[in-house]
Amino acid sequence: MAEQKRADKDRKIRSYIYDKLTIDTLGKMIDKKCINEVMGIIKSGKESKIVLGKDLNGNTVIIKIYMIATSSFTNMMQYIQGDNRFVKIGKTKRKIVETWCQKEMRNLEKAHSVGLSVPKTRCVRNNVLIMDMIEDGGQIANQLSKTILEDPTVFFNEVKEMMRILFKDADLVHADLSQYNILVRDEKPVFIDMGQSVLKNHPQVKTFLKRDVKNIVKYFNSLGVETNETDLYEFIIAD
């Protein structure tokens, strides 16, 4: 009976994910009781797939799968090189993607440890990261880009404060922050997609922070919020 149940789960996994490493990894995560069930893909991109799953208690979780065959390794390396947490990572595609997956987990944990609203990680293995699902009203929370805010200025101030706490307390810069990497839960922001996030001592940290600032200012200006890049940047780095 147990073997049949496992075989059924393996077939379900294969119907969504065709990479052998990922199939094996998910199977081992099931064996280790990190997850109980793999459901359906909700987002599929060049570098990753977002899949819904269930834990042993029936709670919905997010399974983030980094794709080895199609990820942009040159792009990934600019965020990994210079990070003293990841010095000996190897040069194969697989090792780079696995390092990226570990990097996202550690960045999320670092942000979570200073009280920021980010997905809570559960476990990681190879190219697969399991996280809590961010819910809003019993549904998967929407991206900021797909949300009509009641008060854009209040929401901007929340984002602004989170960017400062991330920089000052977690020693991190998101490095890809925009309306597409912020979810809205109860009219408050949740930062997601932090694989590329870098430590404050990264050689390109100023470039990445200025890019984040530019993206956020441009978006909230479009919503009628009065802000500018200089003021936001200075607010984030101020002692």
Percent helix, strand and coil across the chain, each to the nearest 5: 45, 20, 35
Classify residue 37 as exposed, middle or buried by CB count within 10 Å of its CB (0-12, 13-18, 19+): middle
Quick check: is 10 catalytic? no
* CA 213 – CA 234 distance, rounded (Å): 10
Q: What single-letter DSSP state applies at residue 222?
A: H
Token pair, residue 11, equals 């077939």
The residue annotated as part of the active site, out of 83, 136, 176, 212, is 176
Quick check: is 193 catalytic? yes
The residue annotated as part of the active site, out of 19, 193, 212, 239, is 193
Exposure string over 218-230, b if 16+ CB within 10 A, otherwise e: ebbeeeebebeee
As annotated, the active-site residues are: 176, 193
